[in-house]
Copies of this chain bind each other. A is one copy, B any other.
Amino acid sequence: MPQTPHIEKHFTASETVRDLVIGMSDGLTVPFALAAGLSGAVDSTALIITAGLAEVAAGAIAMGLGGYLAARTDAEHYASEKAREERETREVPAVEEAEVAAVFRGYGLPEDTVAAVVAAIKADPNRWVEFMMRFELGMQVPDPRRARNSAITIALAYVAGGLVPLAPYFVLGSVHAALIGSVVTTLSALSVFGYVKGRFTTNRPLRSAGQTVLVGGLAAAAAFTIAKLIG
- Mark interface residues in A1-29 (1 if CB within 8 Å of B CB, else 0): 00000101011100000000000011001
| Contact A81-B26, Cβ < 8 Å, known A49-B230, A219-B58 | no
Contact yes or no, A29 B42, CB < 8 A: no
Known contacts A73-B202, A113-B117, A120-B110, A55 near B55 by CB under 8 Å: yes
A77: which B residues are within 8 A, CB to CB?
11, 201-202
Additional A-B contacts beyond A51-B51, A65-B218 (11; CB < 8 A): A11-B81, A33-B61, A33-B62, A41-B47, A57-B223, A58-B219, A69-B215, A107-B131, A110-B116, A113-B117, A138-B138
Which of A's residues lie within 8 Å of B, judged by CB?
6, 8, 10-12, 25-26, 29-30, 32-34, 37-38, 41-42, 46-47, 49-51, 53-55, 57-59, 61-63, 65-66, 69, 73, 76-77, 80-81, 84, 88, 92, 95, 104, 107-110, 113, 116-117, 120-121, 123-124, 127, 131, 134-135, 137-138, 140, 201-203, 208, 211, 214-216, 218-220, 222-227, 230-231
